[in-house]
Amino acid sequence: MRSSLLALSSIILFTSSITAQSASTVQPTTCITPQFSASGDQYWKNITLKLTNNCTVPVDFENTSLSFKNKAALNTTFWGEFSPLPYPDNNLNISSQQQGDGTYLATLTMHFPTNQGVSTKLPIGKSIQIKYGVNSDTHIEGTTSVYVNAPIDTTGSIVLKNATPKPSDVTQNYALVHVTMNGQKINDVQLPWNSSTTLNSLAPGTYNLAADTITNNSGGSYQGTATPTTVTVTAKHQSNATISYAVVQQTGKVAINLQNLPNELVGYTSQPTVVVSDNQSGSSISQSLSWNSTTTVSQLKVGSSYKFSTGAISYNGYNCNPTFNPTQLTAATTAPSTKLSFQCVQVAQNTVSLNVTGAPASLSSLHVTLTPNNNSCYARSILSCHIFKLLPSNLVRSKNQFVLNSKVI
């Protein structure tokens, strides 16, 4: 009887000591035995941390944290096999902080939900497994400490605010923000425009923020800035950072030299318009040119290659085709130049015969416009596209095709 009472007393004292940890300085539960193992090859390791209850009573894992030392920074996510416990419902992240001896203290927390009808107490002799992947296994044996009933709010949070409304020339619906610690990725956050999001369950430490540059529909860009770029997270504390975007002023240029007005185009008063297109993004800029002058096209991306195009000119019985030399340029702060010239060829002309018969008595006249099948109009006398005033009729096809009232005849 005395030995039974002593055993019962020991169990009560042990259980009380576990419960009391949250009321005073949290101490590790030494009868939870950790065991590391690794599998994989020289390029990638799958690490398993097995936790076994070697205590004399079931241990409640509802709020559990653990730490161990690592030779290198360790910031990653984890998963595991937690049966007979329910699966944790918090963010499963491992983060690390550099220590004075050059090692890194890795920490993680787990919260096991109590509303799923499954006990959060790990029976005597049972185990759970925590798993994560790394390039190499650098944990330091014998440094693992497990804390049960440790409050989950020993972590902190960061509120990220995107202060910029969505630009009208951007299709992407979010800004991509990189969160790192000790040079390792913690999270890549898709932060919607003009909104905020909270990163919870972050281990205390210093986090770095960086926002991606976003390209607009014209090949330009918006530069993201994080303020501050470094955020310190402390337990039970919320830190704040703001992401903002501004247009990046492009400094690239190209120059286009346009020849004199060709003799064949005497009387032509229009100016050629050149489309300057980015070979990579497909974005383009239209630029009007003046004859016998050089025009600089600015606001281009330095280092990007641009090609040029413009339409042929049909005038006064001539068809003038454009040529660029060179055909493309790389934009720079000092504008490289291309020359635009036109080679004109006289267009062969034929006679068109129209036979007009059977006009209704109520129709006094009919206007007919003959347009070549390339939709170009050659000025002849005072007529444009050869406008004739005719009686209604049936038309006789000539050797060339012409468009009449939007129909080929």
In a domain, 10, yes or no: no
What pLDDT sits at residue 357?
66
Mean pLDDT of the chain: 82
Q: Which domain holds residue 126?
A: 26-152
Out of 152, 182, 211, a domain closes at 152
Q: In terms of domains, do 298 and 216 share one?
A: no
Average pLDDT over residues 46-62: 96
Q: pLDDT for 102-139, tens place per residue?
A: 899 999 999 999 887 889 999 999 999 999 999 999 99
Q: Which of 215, 293, 281, 272 is nearest to 248 (CA)?
A: 215
In a domain, 7, yes or no: no
Q: Which of 245, 239, 51 is nearest to 145 (CA)?
A: 51
What pLDDT sits at residue 354?
66
Contacting residues for 399 by C-beta, under 8 A, at least 6 apart: 350
Q: In terms of domains, do 33 and 143 share one?
A: yes
Amino acid identity, position 257: N
In a domain, 366, yes or no: yes
In a domain, 13, yes or no: no
What pLDDT sits at residue 380?
36
316 or 1, greater pLDDT = 316
Q: Which of 178, 78, 85, 84 is nearest to 131 (CA)?
A: 78
CA distance 334 to 169: 27
CATH of the domain at 101: 2.60.40.290
CA distance 398 to 4: 120
CA distance 115 to 401: 82
Q: What percent of the chain has pLDDT over 70?
A: 78
153: confidence class by pLDDT, cuts 50, 70, 90: low
pLDDT higher than 90, residue 172? yes
Q: In terms of domains, do 295 and 182 share one?
A: no
Out of 247, 262, 288, a domain closes at 247
Q: In terms of domains, do 288 and 375 share one?
A: no
CA distance 92 to 405: 72
In a domain, 15, yes or no: no
Q: In terms of domains, do 32 and 147 share one?
A: yes
CA distance 172 to 174: 6
Q: pLDDT for 294-333, tens place per residue?
A: 999 998 888 999 999 999 998 888 899 999 999 999 999 9
Q: pLDDT for 65-100, tens place per residue?
A: 999 999 999 999 999 999 999 999 988 999 888 888
Out of 324, 346, 368, a domain closes at 346
CATH of the domain at 332: 2.60.40.1140
In a domain, 19, yes or no: no
Collapsing DSSP to helix, strand or coil, 153 comes out as: helix
Upstream peptide bond of 228 is cis (omega within 30 degrees of 0): yes
What pLDDT sits at residue 339?
98
What pLDDT sits at residue 336?
97
- Domain tally, the chain: 4
Q: In terms of domains, do 148 and 32 share one?
A: yes
Q: In terms of domains, do 146 and 163 share one?
A: no
What pLDDT sits at residue 133?
95
pLDDT higher than 90, residue 173? yes
Contacting residues for 101 by C-beta, under 8 A, at least 6 apart: none
What pLDDT sits at residue 56?
95
What pLDDT sits at residue 21?
43
Q: Which of 303, 91, 116 is nearest to 199 (CA)?
A: 91
What pLDDT sits at residue 205?
83
Q: In terms of domains, do 40 and 126 share one?
A: yes
pLDDT higher than 90, residue 385? no
What pLDDT sits at residue 236?
79
Q: In terms of domains, do 145 and 82 share one?
A: yes
CA distance 231 to 158: 8
Q: pLDDT for 360-375, tens place per residue?
A: 767 666 666 666 666 5
In a domain, 1, yes or no: no
In a domain, 329, yes or no: yes
What pLDDT sits at residue 282?
77
What pLDDT sits at residue 184?
75
pLDDT higher than 50, residue 220? yes
Q: In terms of domains, do 307 and 368 share one?
A: no
pTM of the model: 0.47
